[in-house]
Amino acid sequence: MVSEKIKTAYAGNKGTGVRSDCFIELELTNSGGIQFEMNSKVEVMFGKSNKKLVLDILGFFNIEHAHIQFVDSGALPFVIAARLEAAIKVLIDTEKGFLIEIQKENKLPSKKEQHRFSRLYLPGNSPSLMLNAGIHKPNGLILDLEDAVAPDKKHDARFLVRNALRSLNFYGAERMVRINQGERGLEDLDYVVPHGVNLILVPKVETPELLIVVDEKIKQLKAKYNLKNMVWLMPIIESAKGVMNAYSIATAADSISSLAIGLEDYTADLGVRRTAEATESFFARTTLVNAAVAAGIQAIDSVFSDVSDMEGLEQNVQVSKSLGFNGMGCIHPRQIRVIHDNFAPDKIEIDKAKRIYLAFLNAKSKGLGVVSLGTKMIDAPVVKRAEKVIQLAVDMGKLNKDWQEETKN
């Protein structure tokens, strides 16, 4: 059904500095067929194929008469399709969706306990920042529909994020989306859950009730589309009330894999300034870590906002690790390596873990019920911790997986 009031719609971005995007102005008319105007930087190479894609999408939605202005800044097909459909959906009430074929790799599941040392935020309405983000090898890529998207662009962003989940090369990173708050966030789920998302970040969580509603909506969508893969939840605590309810939030649903803290909003809620020393957030961070550990999930620290201060970032990661966090967010690719290097076990940790584990194996081979290293007794939690350090060192290339054989030699 065509709206009786709105005849023209716009989607996308144009102007100086815009790359890998396009801008579409679509006007529905009563006659004259499809009138197509193109202004493209790459018309010689891709003009014909881009025009065909536009006409195919218009035909898919049964639009026979329209005037379309297409300003192209090197947009890939999944971006063009997202922009055009966003404009169409303003003008036409339809449940149909023009879906780009999903990549095989973008159907793969993720695990509850997998490494989440780094997660890189990407604005959900900026395709140029998405395209090659995965080559920096973050553990997760977050397509952000919340704070990184202007209110008047949130409609456009939903279609772009949906198509990116299907078409973007994530280079093995976990496919994450941060939804909006409240009812808008629940509506966001329709655009991401059926399209290969691994993990949903839920912002500004203060009580478990919100997560119960989100989890139920995801279950309904999985049943509707016959989806088998688990969709994990990462609640973000960003207020004093959320901190005080951290454990109930962490245990609100079985799909919760991790619990994150957002310190910019948290310190604003307290009415204090966020400092490099972070004494103002010490209680919140340790509370969140304890809640996560008690719930058997991961604790994820906030972002470090100064992208030029690598020394400060390194110190921040070391403190974060010492508090018990399993990872943190980042807002620039240059932060990823520093985060990984400092969350990885160092030589002292690895050597100690190896000694503990070898002592455990020796005691086990002798049928001893007590493990000792030198004059110190070692209990089961210490051995378990050593095993985790060793596995982490192997996973991050800090230790050869055949290290026990090398020790014998």
Closest among 292, 349, 352, 368 to 323, alpha carbons compared: 292
Q: What is the reported pLDDT for 1? A: 45
Q: Model confidence over 48-96: pLDDT tens digits? A: 999 999 999 999 999 999 999 999 999 999 999 999 999 999 999 999 9
Range 93-114 average pLDDT: 96
What pLDDT is stored for residue 3 in this prediction?
A: 46
Q: What is the mean pLDDT of residues 147-162?
A: 97
* Helices and strands: H and E segment counts in the chain: 15, 14
Neighbour tally for 394: CB within 10 Å: 16
Tokens 């023209």 belong to 8
Residue 54, classed as helix, strand or coil, is helix
3-state secondary structure (DSSP) of residue 17: coil
Q: Which residues 6+ apart lie within 8 Å of 374 measured at CB?
A: none
Under DSSP, the state recorded for 203 is: -
The strands making up 66-72's β-sheet, listed across from edge to edge, are: 8-12, 22-28, 66-72, 34-40
Structural domains of the chain sorted by starting position, each given as residue range(s) with its CATH number in brackets? 8-91 (3.30.230), 104-343 (3.20.20.60), 347-408 (no CATH)
Residue range 283-299, pLDDT digits in tens: 999 999 999 999 999 99
* Residue 70 CB coordination number (10 Å): 24
Give the pLDDT of residue 179: 98
Give the amino acid at 19.
R
Q: What pLDDT is stored for residue 369 in this prediction?
A: 66
Residue 5: predicted pLDDT: 59
DSSP labels, 148-192: TS-GGGHHHHHHHHHHHHHH---TT-EEEEE--SHHHHHHHHHHH
The pLDDT score that the predictor gives to residue 375 is 66
Q: Which residues contact 251 (CB under 8 A, 6 or more apart)?
A: 208, 295
Percent of the chain, pLDDT > 70?
97
Per-residue pLDDT tens digits for 356-370:
888 888 777 777 766
Angle (CA) 326 259 330, round 5°: 60
**If we measure between CA atoms, which residue out of 147, 125, 143 comes closest to residue 133?**
143
pTM of the model as a whole: 0.91
- Find the range with the poorest average confidence among 102-111, 241-250, 257-266, 272-281: 272-281
- CB atoms closer than 10 angstroms to residue 172: 12
Rg (CA), the chain: 25
Question: Cα separation of 303 and 206, whole Å?
Answer: 19
Which residue, chain included where needed, has tokens 């079985």?
254
Taking residues 148-161, what's their average pLDDT?
A: 97
pLDDT at 121 over 90: yes
Summarize the confidence of residues 113-130 as an average pLDDT.
Answer: 96
198, 110 Cβ separation under 8 angstroms:
yes
How far is it, in rounded angstroms, from Cα 86 to Cα 133?
A: 24
Query: pLDDT averaged over the chain?
Result: 93
Higher model confidence: residue 358 or residue 124? Answer: 124
Q: What is the mean pLDDT of residues 141-167?
A: 97
